[in-house]
Amino acid sequence: MLFPLVAGCGGGHDDADADPGAKGSKANAGRQGGSKGAGRASGDFPDRDVIVTASCSVPASNPAGVTVTGWDPTTWKRTVSRTFTVPAEAVVAEADDVASPLVELCADNFPGVGTSEEGPRAVAATRLRQLFDKDFSRMAVVLIDRETEATGVGYVDTSGKLTRLSGDQGEGFGDTPKEENAVFAQDGRAVWFTEKDSSDRVRIASRSVSGDHAATEQGSGDGRYMDGAGLALVGDPVRGLFGEEVRISPDGRKATAFITWKGYSVADVPQGSALLKAEGVKAARTPFDADCHPYGWVDDRTVLCGPRLGDTEDPKRKNSFWTLDTSRLDGTADLPKGALGGPIIPATDRKNTVRAISQDGKQMIFASLQGTRHDFFVSAIAPGATPKKITARGADRALSVGDVLEWR
């Protein structure tokens, strides 16, 4: 089996060749050069053969910025890049105590905050991809009034223009608006969000990017015991799913999520917007014997798993990955015969984290931590696969920072 991701390998790690904008770099010399090269880097994202990452920069004195980059997975050259300047009133820090995918994206990027000892983060959950519209031209934001602590939603484009979708409080007397978890519908027509009242009831709603931006309620429910939950969108017509670590299957019919009192579970996506809780949705807990921490979907019914608690009792699966056929789950605690795939990579003492899953579900990229050093490998998603180290220049730069949003 061929692994195109290791093509063009030259050994070593990131240097000027990996940055098309670096002065005197070979990558820049091979292009049109100067401002033309910069213009090319800000073009459209390809429909295929691209890995899209997002990273956040939070300087001490300048506005925060989010950069979305497309990488050629054969050469690991940066082929397209867009930067969003985050408005000063946007929520980017956990200190604001307001939920937003942007907070998660920027979590490790404040001055003085080092990278995690566990290595790069796992492949992004659905809500991080949905910070942006389909072509990455706009980014949803949660806005906060620092005096009243009222929050609303809006979006910013690559020119830096901020569009507010939530109106002011007017002259009325009422509860402080608390709109959170802003995400973009992929067709770009609306920004969706959640709002929680004093009784912990969560409302899922949307605001159109055109017209008067009036909020349209899409669903609601009791949000108690859902700490850390976020909003993900699915389907056509669009529905919102409010839950923890939500990852949606390619066909939009199922979702994995961490559900309080049940653990990691596989839920049937409801016909309308809903909260993914132990009651109210049809969900099957992943059997204990599957030991499955879901990283994402390989196809419409199969989930890629890693050890649930970072370790496993099965020595053959130590720090490995495997698949779980969710169509075989029957809601009981027993593991159905044939539902669990064999170990994909050899068992080792390395700590391994899935960084990306290809759109066709046939390959994955994972980070492997050995002591304080991490390397990146590509592997087929099949039992007994042989991982191939990615040594092409620029791979470290692409995969070490931020989150991988897509591999298409």
* Tokens found for residue 164: 């507010």
What residues form DSSP beta bridges with 397? Answer: none
User: Does a structural domain hold residue 24?
Assistant: yes
Which of 26-35, 47-56, 62-71, 107-116 bottoms out in mean pLDDT, i.e. has the lowest?
26-35
Average pLDDT, the chain: 85
Q: How far apart, in Å, are the Cα atoms of 177 and each of 172, 227, 303?
A: 12, 19, 38
Helix residue ranges per DSSP H, 71-146: 101-105, 126-129
Q: What is the pLDDT of residue 158?
A: 93
Nearest CA to 389 out of 359, 343, 361, 350 is that of: 350
CB atoms within 10 A of CB 208: 15
User: pLDDT-derived band of residue 39, with 50, 70 and 90 as boundaries?
Assistant: very low
Question: In whole angstroms, what is the distance from residue 402 CA to residue 55 CA?
Answer: 4
Question: In whole angstroms, what is the distance from residue 277 CA to residue 357 CA?
Answer: 27
- Largest distance between two CA atoms of the chain: 67
Residue reference for tokens 């009981």: 332
Cβ-proximal residues to 168 (8 Å cutoff; 6+ apart), any chain: none
* Tokens found for residue 343: 């170990």
User: Does a structural domain hold residue 71?
Assistant: no
CB atoms within 10 A of CB 35: 8
Distance from chain centroid for Cα 48: 18
Residue 190 has pLDDT above 80, yes or no: yes
Over the stretch 147-181, which tens digit does the pLDDT of each residue have? 999 999 999 999 999 999 997 655 566 778 999 99
User: Does a structural domain hold residue 5?
Assistant: yes
- Sign for the CA dihedral angle at 72, 396, 116, 256 comes to positive
Q: What is the pLDDT of residue 42?
A: 57
Q: What is the pLDDT of residue 250?
A: 95
What residues form DSSP beta bridges with 257? Answer: 265
Q: What is the pLDDT of residue 373?
A: 86
Residue 26 has pLDDT above 80, yes or no: no
Cβ-proximal residues to 211 (8 Å cutoff; 6+ apart), any chain: none
Q: Which of 59-63, 273-277, 327-331 has the highest mean pLDDT?
A: 273-277
Burial class of residue 48 (count of CB atoms within 10 Å of its CB; 0-12, 13-18, 19+): exposed
Residue 37 has pLDDT above 60, yes or no: no
Q: What are the strands, taking DSSP E only, across 287-362? A: 292-297, 302-307, 322-325, 351-357
User: Does a structural domain hold residue 128?
Assistant: no
Greater model confidence, 1 or 74: 74
User: Does a structural domain hold residue 329?
Assistant: yes
Q: What is the pLDDT of residue 347?
A: 93
Greater model confidence, 282 or 241: 241
User: Does a structural domain hold residue 218?
Assistant: no
Question: In whole angstroms, what is the distance from residue 240 CA to residue 219 CA?
Answer: 8
Share of the chain above pLDDT 90, in %: 62
For residue 22, the enclosing domain spans 1-48+286-408
Question: In whole angstroms, what is the distance from residue 48 CA to residue 348 CA?
Answer: 33
Question: In whole angstroms, what is the distance from residue 94 CA to residue 381 CA?
Answer: 35
Which of 118-127, 251-260, 288-297, 397-406 bottoms out in mean pLDDT, i.e. has the lowest?
118-127
User: Does a structural domain hold residue 179?
Assistant: no
Question: In whole angstroms, what is the distance from residue 105 CA to residue 114 CA?
Answer: 14
Residue 267 has pLDDT above 90, yes or no: yes
Greater model confidence, 69 or 16: 69
Q: How far apart, in Å, are the Cα atoms of 93 and each of 89, 213, 400?
A: 11, 26, 21
Query: H or E element: which one contains 13?
Result: none
Over the stretch 52-85, which tens digit does the pLDDT of each residue have? 999 999 887 788 999 999 999 999 999 999 999 9
What's the total number of domains in the chain? 1
Share of the chain above pLDDT 70, in %: 85
Residue 104 has pLDDT above 50, yes or no: yes
Residue reference for tokens 């946007």: 90
- Cβ(180)–Cβ(193) below 8 Å: yes
Which of 76-85, 92-101, 105-114 bottoms out in mean pLDDT, i.e. has the lowest?
105-114
3-state secondary structure 57-87: ECCCCCCCEEEEEEECCCCCCEEEEEEEECC
User: Does a structural domain hold residue 227?
Assistant: no
- Cβ(153)–Cβ(162) below 8 Å: no
- Cβ(254)–Cβ(268) below 8 Å: yes
Cβ-proximal residues to 183 (8 Å cutoff; 6+ apart), any chain: 101, 127, 130, 131, 140, 191, 192, 193, 231, 232, 233
